[in-house]
Every structure is written in C-alpha cells, then in structure tokens.
Amino acid sequence: MPRVLVVDDTASIRFLIRTNLELAGYDVDEAVDGVDCLDVLKRLETMPDLITVDVMMPRLDGVATVTAIRADRRTRDIAVVMVSTQGQAADIQRATEAGVDAYVTKPFDPDHLVVTVGDVLDRTRARRAP
C-alpha cells in the first residue's frame, strides 16, 4: 500500500486529504508544517512514496520544504504534490523549480487530488523501473 505524508498547517485540510487518500487505499501520515515534515521524515523508518505539501505555512513554507527534501539523499526521490491557494504562474514556476512533481490549486476536488497522487506515483514508478 503506498504511503503518503500530508503536510498542511490547516487541520481541516489535512483531514480532508487524509480521509480521501485513505478511502483510496493509501497509508497516510501527517505533519503540521515544513519543520514538522522534515522532523517526521527523520523519524520514519520507511519513507513515504509521496508527500503533499501546502505553500503557505508557518516556520518553513512549502517551497523551502521541498527544497530541503530534494537536498537530502534519503528523501530526494520522494514524489511531491504541492497543494496550495497560490495558483499564479509565478507560484507554480517557483514550485516546479524547487522540484514538485505536480501542483493542485485549492479549493480542489478531492477526487482530482486522489487521481493526481495516483498519476504522480505511476510516473515515479515508471522512472524507477529497470
């Protein structure tokens, strides 16, 4: 079963994402912001297959979080889906340059997010296949 780490400072958004991903068959962990995300990644024995991350968060924003994830050899290959209210072309470009695999703008259709997560995981698996 694929494992997803959901990173968002809004509890109701974490709950919405978690619930829909669990209904789709994913194991889900949560983090409340970028600092917590990096701490969770240090503690986990098994890395998640994908991380969803918000942009606007206290302590460490989503772009800085993705940059840190990509800089660490243990986490650099984890797929990342940015989920944010920031939907301007410049926001998406910054996220893409940081290394996100997909970008979903809030408010989002939960089914669309689940499909996006599945598509990104499929692409990630295809890249790693021999």
| Residue 121 burial (CB count, 10 A) | 18
Q: Domains, the chain, ranges and CATH? A: 3-125 (3.40.50.2300)
Sequence letter at residue 114: V
**Positions of the chain with pLDDT under 70:** 128-130
b/e burial code for range 2-31 (CB count within 10 A of at least 16 → b): bbbbbbbbeeebbebbbebbeebebebbbb
What letter would DSSP give residue 8? -
Please give the Cα distance from 117 to 45 (Å, whole number). 22
What predicted TM-score, i.e. pTM, was given to this entire model?
0.94
pLDDT at 71: 97
pLDDT at 129: 67
